[in-house]
Amino acid sequence: MSKVTAKFQITIPQEIRKDLCINPGSHVDIVKENNKFVLVVNPIEEIKKRWRGRFKNGQTVDDYINDVRGKIN
């Protein structure tokens, strides 16, 4: 079980970090699904999966995201 610090931070247990391949610098998101919250690792990849196949003019999801948000290094 994790404990919330005074700065509202939590530590993800080592076993979960290993299972989810979470490393320093990994991007994660917390989303609400019904009555529970779910940790999503690499949310950008999840967004790409949802949008895959929606562009007919040869534009890729990366191209679209770069157009909307600016190029990510």
d(CA 43, CA 49): 10
- Mean pLDDT to the nearest integer, 7-27: 90
Quick check: is 53 in a domain?
Answer: yes
pLDDT tens-digit map of 22-60: 888 888 889 899 999 998 887 677 677 777 777 777 777
Quick check: is 51 in a domain?
Answer: yes
Which residues constitute the domain of residue 42? 27-69
Output the pTM of the full model.
0.51
Per the structure, the count of domains in the chain is 1
Quick check: is 12 in a domain?
Answer: no
- CA 66, 39, 14 angle in degrees (round to 5)? 115
Quick check: is 6 in a domain?
Answer: no
Quick check: is 10 in a domain?
Answer: no
Cα-based distances in Å from 17 to 5, 14, 28, 33, 34: 19, 5, 11, 21, 24
Helical H segments across the chain, by residue range: 14-20, 43-51, 61-69
What is the amino acid identity at position 51? W
